[in-house]
Amino acid sequence: MEYLSIRQTAEKWEISKRRIQILCAEDRIPGAIKIDYSWAIPANAEKPKDERIKSGKYVKLK
């Protein structure tokens, strides 16, 4: 299996390197593995859906 670095994945998905790190830490990229202080992301991994709230309103859960 071929792996990409965070920098290569950020360029491929057109998002920041920090966002990729957060997605890896939250286990939202299947198959991503941590090697020492860096992440290895499968080359065929798909970009996860952005689930952040963009409306500016907070969601209240009862």
pTM for this predicted structure: 0.78
The answer to whether 26 and 39 have CB atoms below 8 angstroms apart is no
Sheet with 3-4, side-by-side order of all strands: 3-4, 38-42, 33-35
Q: What is the DSSP letter of 17?
A: H
Residue 41 has what pLDDT? Answer: 96
Mean pLDDT, residues 1-14 taken together: 94
Length of the chain: 62
What pairs with residue 33 in β-bridges? 40
Residue 9 has what pLDDT? Answer: 95
**Spans of all domains in the chain:** 3-42
Residue 51 has what pLDDT? Answer: 77
25-58 per-position pLDDT tens digit: 999 999 999 999 999 999 999 999 877 777 766 6
Residue 62 has what pLDDT? Answer: 64
Residue 54 has what pLDDT? Answer: 73
The answer to whether 45 and 32 have CB atoms below 8 angstroms apart is yes
